[in-house]
Amino acid sequence: MPPSVPSTPPAQTPAETPRKIWTVGTLAYTTTGLVILFCWLLWGDFAWSMKDRAVPPIVQFLLKKFGASDMLAGLLCVSLPAVIGLVLGPIISYKSDRHRGRWGRRIPFLLIPTPIAVLAIAGLAFSPAIGTHLDQFLGPRSWGLNPCILFSLGLFWMLFEFATIIANSIYGALINDVVPQPVLGRFYGLFRALSLLAGIIFNYWIFGKAETAYVWICLGIGALYGVGFTIMCLKVKEGQYPAPPPVAARQALPGFFQNAKIYFRECFGNSYYWWFFGATAVAGLATGPVNLFSIFFATSVDMSLAMYSKCLALTYCISLGLAYPLGWLADKVHPLRIGIAVLALYALVTLWGGLYARDARTFAIALVAHGVIAGIWVTATASLGQRLLPKAEFAQFASAGGIVSSLAWMLLAPVSGFLLDHLHHDYRYTFFFGLGLTLLGLLGCLVLHGKFMALGGPQHYVAPEGRGPGNPYP
């Protein structure tokens, strides 16, 4: 006779309550484990963000201080990184996707460039002193004091971008490998919030002192980044990955050329990805003209560096409050749909800025509006690549998008600088440049959305096969 069943089941003890498990690949997290993962990744992001928020504007300030033209500033700050990214990004990403080691396939590519970046930041800090000594050493053969200083700045900036681009090519791929997809939007919302907090700290309390204390600021940022990012790399653990495609099965060409052929066939073999790369590149480019020349715009309308930094801090405060809700919305709706709405709004902001930003007050309004809307785009679409690109080869597909973006940036920066040099440095045109790019990006995203819906939409989407016809392995 079976045992009797009690009419009221006993209450579960807390230990018996089922725990939610979050999975990605071979990794599994409890909610507590997911929180710990977020903490380490966000700590690394804070160190990264302080570096990214601090170093480029200080370099822009130093370039202007020592007589760099708008075109030279565009070449150094945008075109040079784009060229480095064009060469290094695909190589590093391809190698990382296929690397297997006890440290994982991402961590080694993040850890090794870190001390190089720290050394470069220190070199940027001392570039005026280095340039002065170089000028004295060359004597009558010297190009002049300012050109010697600009040479030193350019050299260490190149080294800085070399290290940054290597890590940047892999950082998003690490997140793709260790963060479960259902919470990617919320993670990037927190990610963005930390970045904004770094921006608030730097612009409100630090950047205003850059004119006299840039050496100490750079050294402090370098130390924070070196320690913080290294700790993150040592604490975050990767899972196990399937073996990469066997080399022996695809030896039609030797070495580099065979890998390059496979890379381009996989990434550009499906026209759907052309639309993804093009639309996201142009949309991401839209904020570039204003961002690149905003310090120069501020100087042209007699806005103080302190006031400029306060405007940025206000922008970051507003964006900080929006960061997590936007991440949640991206998880619930879809980052592509939110991005389309944001581009339409940014078109209105750039139109207003181009027409009405004529003095310090109106430029402040346009700068804050531009920064908030640009920040919404960054936050809302941060997980777009993870949603639409093939997961197993995410790094190389993301780097293919980087190739398209790099080519676009290589043209945008010097062309914008050249035009501004011949438009009497009327920086209102940067808003009009941004407006044109926004409209092109909006059109591309609308086409991409139509293709995305044809592939199943938010509920049933599967990333299409990227490999072109005739690929020798499955």
Domains with residue ranges and CATH for the chain: 40-239+254-458 (1.20.1250.20)
Helix (H, G, I), strand (E, B) or coil at 417: helix
Model pLDDT, residue 295: 85
Cβ atoms within 10 Å of 3's Cβ, excluding its own: 5
Question: Does the reported pTM lie above 0.75?
Answer: no
Model pLDDT, residue 258: 77
Stretch (H or E) spanning 28: strand 27-30
CA 412 to chain CA centroid, Å, is 17
Per-residue tokens: 206: 């630090």
- Return d(Cα 365, Cα 370) in angstroms, integer: 8
- Return d(Cα 425, Cα 453) in angstroms, integer: 44
- Return d(Cα 170, Cα 187) in angstroms, integer: 17
Per-residue model confidence as pLDDT tens digits over 424-446: 888 999 999 999 999 999 999 99
- Return d(Cα 171, Cα 46) in angstroms, integer: 13
Model pLDDT, residue 410: 77
Model pLDDT, residue 420: 87
- Return d(Cα 304, Cα 360) in angstroms, integer: 9
CA 205 to chain CA centroid, Å, is 24
Residues of the chain with pLDDT under 50: 1-9, 248-254, 468-474
Stretch (H or E) spanning 261: helix 255-268
Model pLDDT, residue 317: 87
CA 315 to chain CA centroid, Å, is 18
Model pLDDT, residue 16: 53
Model pLDDT, residue 75: 83
Which of 176, 160, 156 has its CA nearest to residue 93?
176
Tell me the helix, strand and coil percentages in the chain, rounded to 5.
Answer: 80, 0, 20
Cβ neighbors of 425 (< 8 A, separation 6 or more) are 70, 296, 300
Return phi, psi of residue 3, to 5°: -65, 150
